[in-house]
């Protein structure tokens, strides 16, 4: 009989997989006329549903670093709510479409893998896809996606003195903060990227050991 924690994780991951799949289905028509990649934000909305993953990691419900879970959630939430939502001029940028597509594809795979692994019925091909698809998808989502969008937002942030009331308390501007974020973003992202590569490597060793057994 499944434990309550397993049932909860199965439900959570299934709902997340379904949500990202719906977002992906709404994004795909943007590739064909009369729709456009410029409408991706309007059809996909605010894709920031993963705050619970930080809590899951913190309480030991899943074997994931709370810091890495927080960095991923915090980075995406900042990108969507603080930048894209607040600056209409970047919402129609192809870089937003690239970001949302990369996120949606990778998360449909990831959450489907988590849900089926909880049931112990995950097919090998999905496990392979989980630890292979991220190799191109993560860099695409970060470089021409998130970072390019934030770079395009800089002039509008500076012109409108966005969040000046909050950042003024720290004797700095949000523009300076965003420049700093862009400077450290590759390094923070690389930490997450290498973490998944490490898990991929462990998976390969485990698979090899099973074949030899």
How far is residue 47's CA from residue 77's CA, in Å, rounded to a whole number? 8
207 token code pair: 């698979």
Query: Which residues participate in catalysis according to the annotation?
Result: 138, 146
Three-state DSSP state, 131: coil
CB 164 within 8 A of CB 150: no
Q: Smallest Cα–Cα separation from 107: which of 203, 10, 14? A: 14
How far is residue 193's CA from residue 129's CA, in Å, rounded to a whole number? 15
**In three state form, how does the secondary structure of 75-108 look?**
HHHHHHHHHHCCCHHHHCCHHHHHHHHHHHHHHH
């Amino acid at each position: 009989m499944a434990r309550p924690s397993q049932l909860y994780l199965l439900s959570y991951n299934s709902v997340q997989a379904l949500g990202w799949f719906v977002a992906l289905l709404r994004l795909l028509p943007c590739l064909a006329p009369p729709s456009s990649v410029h409408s991706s934000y309007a059809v996909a909305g605010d894709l920031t549903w993963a705050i619970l993953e930080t809590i899951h990691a913190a309480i030991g419900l899943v074997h994931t670093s709370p810091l890495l879970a927080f960095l991923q959630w915090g980075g995406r939430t900042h990108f969507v709510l603080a930048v894209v939502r607040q600056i209409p001029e970047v919402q129609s940028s192809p870089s937003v479409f690239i970001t949302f597509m990369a996120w949606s594809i990778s998360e449909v795979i990831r959450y489907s893998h988590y849900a089926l692994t909880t049931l112990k019925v995950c097919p090998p091909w999905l496990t392979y896809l989980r630890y292979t698809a991220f190799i191109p998808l993560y860099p695409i989502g970060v470089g021409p996606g998130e970072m390019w969008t934030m770079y395009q937002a800089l002039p509008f942030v500076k012109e409108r003195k966005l969040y000046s009331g909050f950042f003024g308390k720290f004797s700095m501007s949000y523009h300076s903060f965003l420049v700093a974020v862009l400077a450290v973003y590759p390094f923070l992202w690389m930490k997450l990227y290498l973490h998944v590569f490490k898990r991929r490597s462990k998976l390969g060793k485990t698979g090899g050991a099973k074949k030899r057994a």
